[in-house]
Structure 1
Amino acid sequence: MIPSLFQAVPMTVDQATAILKWTYPPPYDFYNMETSEEAYAELLDGSYQAVIAHKQLVGFFCTGRSAQVPPGRPLHLYPDDHLDIGLGRQPELTGQGTGFAFCSFVLDTVKAKSALPLRLTVASFNERAIHLYEQLGFQRHAAFSTTHATFLIMTQSHT
């Protein structure tokens, strides 16, 4: 087996600080996070992993409730028959054709720890990510709207 370029490690305060400072260009600025006690608490609650390559922070992922968009919960769009995943990349690394390798690493890491099929939620305007997720075997499952955006829920069988 070829060793991975990537490594998943528990999120540290320094990594959380770096992630909270990431700024994405429009329209992806939708993903910019506000630095707050709540944001730190979520990033450090144990559901988030930092992804490292060449000793640099290149992204992160989370699983469980942290990966869900809360307005989808009362709509019963997150039944317990899937494991939710969420992920993010350092802004300078997006749109460069490296997403497939990054996402494959995240999916392999998550699948090694769970037998549940995977589910993710993505903003519907993010066609770049949706195309990537479809290449990785995700299928469009449901959609819902909030005051800020429309979201697409995508699912993948456990392979």
Structure 2
Amino acid sequence: MKYQVKPMEEHEAIEYLQWRYPEPYTFYNVPAAGFAECLAEILAPDNGTDYYAVYRKGSYYGIFCFNYQSQDLELGLGIRPEECGKHHGRQFTLAAVDYIRRNLLFKGRIWLRVADFNERAQRSYEGAGFKPFDQQLAISWHGLTNFIHMELPET
């Protein structure tokens, strides 16, 4: 699958924040009360995280976000709700890693967080070479959630 990646624009951020996932993935739905805060964070030029819109076959397909932390890069991923569950997660994750390595020229450790209940995403990340290394309880929009931390070794 070929993806086109570009810096996220405001209209794409608005659309992304309105994506609605079915159970049990409603955890990823941004509540109306948090919409303005999330939009401001995505659009802030110096918030520490870079957001990218990802297109497939000319349609807005997903997002990548990158947050540099010392020698590491934290990766965030999202696929449109109607495209989830079609067994493209591994390939999408590999595309994000390829973009990081080729376009951002980042050779260090890449890591990500995934809610512990999201076994589907965990399998995709493991298929792309990520390995669990830690976990953390964190407060999210929906209460206390356990996140599995997964890493991809340096190249």
Q: Give the structure-2-normalised TM-score.
A: 0.85
Write out aligned runs for 1:61-140 (5 A): 61-64=64-67, 80-112=70-102, 113=104, 114-140=106-132
- Is the CA contact 1:84–1:118 (under 8 Å) kept in the aligned structure 2? yes
Size of the alignment, in residue pairs?
Answer: 143
- Is the CA contact 1:7–1:52 (under 8 Å) kept in the aligned structure 2? yes
Instruction: Name the structure 2 match of 1:71.
Output: none
- Is the CA contact 1:111–1:158 (under 8 Å) kept in the aligned structure 2? no
Instruction: Name the structure 1 match of 2:41.
Output: 42
Q: Which amino acid aligns with 1:154?
A: M
Distance 1:148 1:22 in 2: 22
What are structure 1's unaligned runs of at least 5 residues?
Answer: 66-78
Instruction: Name the structure 2 match of 1:153.
Output: 149
Distance 1:110 1:29 in 2: 28
Where is the strand percentage greater, Structure 1 or Structure 2? 2
Q: Which amino acid aligns with 1:129?
A: A
SS of equivalent residue, structure 1 residue 149 = strand
CA RMSD of aligned residues (A): 1.6
Distance 1:44 1:116 in 2: 26
SS of equivalent residue, structure 1 residue 29 = helix
What are structure 2's unaligned runs of at least 5 residues?
Answer: none
